Amino acid sequence: MTQGDMNGRAQRRGDGTRELSPVLVAVFAVAVLIIAPGLAEACAVCYGSVDSPLIDGVNNGILVLLGVIAAVQIGFVALFLSIRRRARQVRQQTERFQVNQGGAG
């Protein structure tokens, strides 16, 4: 059978296992969410109270991740400033370097 003939059904792979089609997976997911809509609700963190220790932990985690991002960005800025300073030093050295034209004489 061709792949078009097997649309919506499980297909066999070369190793003997079955591969589910995306249509079948989507139908199964919709069926599960219709049967058990509680699975689609937000987690306890989203519905939790504002003063919960769990919320404080999440907020601290966000701050730590923002700190890591800021440190990486500062590192990139320092890298480019260092490259710029070294390029300026090399340019100044090449401007001071003089080449004798024509040799002795």
At 20-29, the pLDDT tens digits run 788 988 998 8
CA distances from 102 to 28, 96, 97, 99, 105 (A): 86, 19, 16, 10, 8
Higher pLDDT, 75 or 98: 75
Domain chopping of the chain, boundaries: 1-41, 50-96
Residue 90: per-residue pLDDT? 92
- Distance from C-alpha of 45 to C-alpha of 38, rounded to nearest angstrom: 15
pTM, rounded to two decimals: 0.47
- SS3 state at 19: strand
Only one residue has tokens 């199964």, namely: 28
| Res. 78: pLDDT tops 80 | yes
